[in-house]
Amino acid sequence: MADLRKHHSQIAVPLVLLISLLSHDGRSQDKAAPAQIGYQSAPDAEHKKTLLLKDFTPQSMLHAPAHSIDRAKYYVIDVHNHVNDAARIEEHMAPERVIQVMDSTNVKTVVILTGMWGDKLQKVIDEMVKPYPGRFIVFSQIDWSKIDDPDFSGEMVRQLDDAVHRGARGLKVLKDLGLEVRDKSGKLLAVDDPRMDPIWEECGRLKIPVSIHVSDPEAFFHPIDNTNERYEELIEHPDWSFYGQGFPSKESLLAARDRMFAKHPHTTFVSLHVANWPENLDYV
């Protein structure tokens, strides 16, 4: 009996050793086996389900020297700014601080486009233009609240004359012309509406430029979906979307603008934002 137990023990030891070696060898092979380089996407990758766009902040791996230009070699005239404007498009800055920034970057003059009219225009002139001769130029605007007045055109011509008398040196037209301004019937005021003709002509007579913004980026006229290149911007500002909802197309807005330009050859128009079609340089 003892011999039998001894015999079994002698068999068991090599068997346990063999199992152990096989098990260890398998683990070693699994651990040492290199991962295969694949060429297919992982459709169930966790980040595709959990990483939000707002949390995606990739860091550039580009290895290249950076050349920071903090001051222009030649002086600059900034023709498109809203600093300390009457419409309060941007936060107010102390005028002395604005001058400091201009001096440090070699900006000679800044054009404040949205100066409005009347007392609000006068406030901008008194704060920014008069104390700093040659450093700031202010433009006036149109009072759209009077669009339904019987003499809208005449009123705006007189308002423009007053603005120039106060010190305004141009007229600024925002994108609300063609996209937001409506008469009492709810109809959008077209860019080439004849009610605007006397205003454009008066600008020509006064020899002041019209800085005009017509339409918006092309993406703003497309659905806000996963194909829109400005998706992040539009979900934060849904009122910037002009897709459907009774808005004219971008192309029709620009066509109306071009007809208006052709109709007033003696007026200087500044077509802002790369003629409002930077996505289509052949057109520009």
Interval 227-236: pLDDT, tens: 999 999 999 9
Q: Name which of 39-48, 61-70, 217-226, 273-282 the model is least confident about.
A: 39-48
The pair of structure tokens assigned to 13 is: 């030891």
For residues 246-256, give the mean pLDDT: 96
Percentage of residues in the chain having pLDDT higher than 90? 76
Q: Is pLDDT of 111 > 90?
A: yes
**How many whole angstroms separate alpha carbon 75 and alpha carbon 84?**
21
Q: Is pLDDT of 9 > 60?
A: no
**How many whole angstroms separate alpha carbon 156 and alpha carbon 190?**
17
**How many whole angstroms separate alpha carbon 245 and alpha carbon 8?**
89
Give the CA angle between residues 250, 117, 272 to the nearest 5°. 30
**How many whole angstroms separate alpha carbon 224 and alpha carbon 235?**
7
**DSSP letter (8 states) at residue 54:** G
**How many whole angstroms separate alpha carbon 256 and alpha carbon 74?**
37
**How many whole angstroms separate alpha carbon 208 and alpha carbon 32?**
78
For residues 178-200, give the mean pLDDT: 97
- Residue 240, sorted as left (phi over 0), alpha (psi -120 to 50) or beta, turns out to be alpha
pLDDT of residue 52: 84
E strand residue ranges, the chain? 76-81, 107-112, 136-138, 171-173, 210-212, 269-271
Q: Is pLDDT of 201 > 90?
A: yes
Whole-number average pLDDT of the chain: 89
Q: Is pLDDT of 77 > 70?
A: yes
Split at pLDDT 50, 70, 90, the class of 11 is very low
pLDDT of residue 36: 75
**pLDDT greater at residue 82 or residue 56:** 82
Q: Are 112 and 138 in contact (CB under 8 A)?
A: yes
Q: Are 48 and 240 in contact (CB under 8 A)?
A: no
Give the CA angle between residues 249, 241, 54 to the nearest 5°. 140
* Residues ≥6 apart with Cβ < 8 Å to 129: 136, 137, 138, 167
pLDDT of residue 69: 93
Split at pLDDT 50, 70, 90, the class of 51 is confident
Domain boundaries, the chain: 176-284
**How many whole angstroms separate alpha carbon 224 and alpha carbon 201?**
39
